[in-house]
Amino acid sequence: MSMPPLPVTSNSQELGDSGQSNVLGKRLNKIFETRLDTDKETLEALKELSTFFTENSIQSRRNLRSKIEKRSLAINEEFLSAFTKVKDALDTVYNDVVSIDSEVRGMSMHLQATRAQTYQLIEHTTQLQAQRKKLSMEQEVASAFLERYQLSPAELTVLHGSTRDSPITPVFFTALQRAQTIHSDCRVLMQSGFQTVALDIMEQMSLHQEAALERLYRWTQSHCRSVESTETAALLTEAMSCLQDRPVLFKYVLDEYGSCRRAALVRAFIDALTKGGGTLKPIEMHANDPKRYVGDMLAWLHQVIPSEKESLNTLMSLCSKIDVSDHIQQILASITEGVCHPLKVRVDRILSTDATTTILYSVASLLGYYHQIFSQVVPESMLLGTLAEVRILAQNRFLSALQGRVKQHLADRLDTPPPDLSPSTSVSALMSLLKEVLSVAGVADGRPEDITKMVGVVLDPLLQAVNLSAARLPTTDMAVYLLNCLYQMQTTLSLYGFMDNRLERLQAQSDAQLDTLTSEQASSLVANLNLGPIYTILQETSRGPLANVPGMDAASLKHFLVKLDGFLALPDILLLPQISLLLSTIHRNNVKQRAFEVICTVYKQLFAAVHDPVNGYQNPSSLISRTPEQVQELLLGNGS
């Protein structure tokens, strides 16, 4: 469709003179050179031309130019109208674009503004975010802090109890322990510089603990009687462990426990006394057998103590911070207080019946034994005091019963000593009474002072009575009688322990009587042998030769020596008859020996005097042939 411009005219006009021929030549050349079959445009143009130039006539050739111009015009008109349309379209587009532009401009402005606004928002958001992060961190710290330094609501409920009477459960102790832990942890806080908080929390925890312990105390106090029940026992043990830091509360609980057990023990004791158990007869069935009755009561008490002690030990088994042994002793003492009265009443009653002396003694001894036992088991207790009391009472009752019997014996027969000077029947009777009592197997090794007292009760009046009746006898008889009585007492007492003092006193009394008896016997010997004058003369200092002294001359001496020979052959014939009535051969020999010694001594002096030339005896060896040693040998046996 390309319509080549028509350069022909314009080109020819442009041609200058100088190169006119040349240009023409060139043109021609070009035309010649033109190869139409290769020139597409030309071909096209020709082809187009062929569509309307159908008839090669002059006319048509003349018209060709206008025809072509007309065509060209039509084409351009066509162009114009086409372009008008395009232009309209473009105008519309243009308007659109313009409105878009203004729109966009507005939007952009809006955007600008929005952007400015958003920037602030973002700024703000970022700030908020940072704040939020910080806060959540803080919250984390705070809740960690709370968790560590505060009790949870659940724990608080457990500690304070939902109601006044809500029971204590194992979680209570966990919570209480938590409060304690928090309290101790506050030290860390304190060290980290948070004094105020730490002090606040500590105070808070102390208040919780205090309230909780108060509640625990009330619970424990009202439940301590149930130490025998499974669930309670473990809790009680734990409760006591918590309360050990509060000595006052601890003590109150123990007191309460003590009074519960005290009541229980009294009940059990009374039951054992009056009802027995199973097939066991009640202890009081044996009330007519005081020994058995008292023994059973005390053995019963003795045997319940280990269990009570055990329960106490259990109750305080977790109290490791304090020494529980004192508490245990105190509470045991308090637990056993209740039985004191029923025990005392019964023992008093037994002691006020007219039990025999020996039974009273057994009971006193039994009480002594248990006093000793209980002084180890429950020292410093009322029970021990009661036992001491009834023991003294029994002892006194026994002594007065004994006194009564002694009096009765001595009053019945304030007897004159028998002719054979043997101990009066009251001595034998009282000695067998003493034996009877002493051989009542004292269960407790009787205390020396009790035994001494008891022996005194029998012996003192007896000795008095014996001395009184002996006083009415002649000296020798008196001495022999007293010796016999003393001998019997000594023999009896020497079988038992703790008698040393008494035996010593009896021995001293015997010795005095032995001295008396010896001097009586010696005097009698001297008199019988006519040794008196000789002895007197020998003692004189201012005298001449003895051979010249009357009564000491050879003849008198011979007379004496004959008598002495008779005596030496049968020494016993000159013994006082009462000597043979001495019950003790030791006493007998003692008196004899010592009396004979007197004779030996005098003989020795005489022998020396006779052999002393100063005394002027002729042939002293034939006058006095026996040496003092021989005489001694004959009288005293070999030696000594």
Residues that bind another protein (CB under 8 A): 227-230, 233-234, 236-238, 268, 271-272, 275-280, 283, 291-292, 295-296, 298-300, 302-303, 305-307, 309-310, 314-315, 317-318, 362, 366, 369, 373, 376-377, 441-445
Is the CB of 291 or the CB of 588 nearer to another protein? 291
- CA–CA separation, 135 and 639 (whole Å): 124
Nearer of residues 54 and 279 to another protein, judged by Cβ: 279
State which residue, 365 or 578, has the beta carbon closest to another protein. Answer: 365
Burial (CB count <10 Å: 0-12, 13-18, 19+), residue 504: exposed
- State the nearest-atom distance from the C-beta of 280 to another protein, in Å: 5
Burial class from Cβ neighbours inside 10 Å (0-12, 13-18, 19+) for residue 416 reads exposed
Determine the Cα–Cα distance for residues 581 and 521; give it in Å rounded to an integer: 14
Phi, psi dihedrals of residue 277, rounded to the nearest 5°: -150, 140
Report, in Å, the least distance between residue 277 CB and another protein: 3
Tokens of 320: 């490791």
Reading the block at residue 196, the tokens are: 């105020």
What is the per-residue DSSP string for 190-218?
A: HHTT-HHHHHHHHHHHHHHHHHHHHHHHH
Cα–Cα distance list, 159 to 123, 211, 248, 424, 579 (Å): 50, 8, 20, 87, 98
Task: Decide if 493 contacts 503 (C-beta within 8 A).
Answer: yes
| CB-based contact 436:358 (threshold 8 Å) | yes
Shorter beta-carbon distance to another protein: residue 176 or 531: 176
Tell me how far, at minimum, the Cβ of 367 lies from another protein, in Å.
Answer: 11
Element at 486 (helix H, strand E): helix 475-493
Q: How far is the CB of 250 from another protein (least distance, A)?
A: 17
CB 254 within 8 A of CB 185: no
Structure tokens at 453: 């007292």
Minimum distance from residue 354 beta carbon to another protein (Å)? 20
Q: In residues, how long is the chain?
A: 640
- CA separation for the pair 297, 347 (Å, rounded): 10
Q: Residues 577, 578, 581, 584: is their CA dihedral positive or negative? A: negative
With respect to another protein, which residue has the nearer C-beta, 373 or 583?
Answer: 373
- C-beta of 223 vs 409, nearer to another protein: 223
Residue number, 13 or 303, with CB nearest to another protein: 303
Q: Which residues pair with 277 in a beta bridge?
A: 280
From residue 135, alpha-carbon distances to 125, 130, 522 in Å are: 15, 8, 129
Neighbours of 501 (CB within 10 A): 12
Alpha helices, H only, 529-584: 531-539, 554-569
The rounded distance, in Å, linking the Cα atoms of 272 and 296 is 10
CB of 580 to another protein, least distance (A): 41
Nearer to another protein, 237 or 523 (CB): 237
- 280 phi/psi in degrees, rounded to 5: -75, 135
Q: How far is the CB of 135 from another protein (least distance, A)?
A: 42
CA 409, CA 429: separation in Å to the nearest integer?
A: 8
In the chain, the amino acid numbered 602 is: V
The minimum distance between CB 447 and another protein, in angstroms, equals 14
Q: Which residues of 617-638 are buried (b: 16+ CB within 10 A; e: fewer)?
A: beebeeebebebeebbebbbee
Closest approach, Cβ 343 to another protein, in A, equals: 14
| Closer by beta carbon to another protein, 304 or else 459 | 304
Burial class from Cβ neighbours inside 10 Å (0-12, 13-18, 19+) for residue 240 reads buried
Encoded tokens for 513: 């009587």
CB 286 to another protein: min, Å: 10
Shortest reach from residue 283's CB to another protein, in Å = 8
d(CA 552, CA 542): 15
Residues 94-131, buried b or exposed e (16+ Cβ, 10 A)? eeeeeeeeeeeeeeeeeeeeeeeeeeeeeeeeeeeeee
Inter-residue contact 414 to 427 (CB < 8 Å): no
Tell the smallest beta-carbon distance from residue 423 to another protein (Å). Answer: 29
Q: Is 628 left (phi over 0), alpha (psi -120 to 50) or beta?
A: alpha
Tell me whether residue 35 or residue 321 sits nearer to another protein (CB atom): 321
- Closest approach, Cβ 640 to another protein, in A, equals 44
Residue with tokens 């040998």: 633
CB of 390 to another protein, least distance (A): 16
For residue 132, the one-letter residue type is R
- Report, in Å, the least distance between residue 322 CB and another protein: 17
CB of 462 to another protein, least distance (A): 26
> Which of 46, 65, 60 has its CA nearest to residue 2?
46
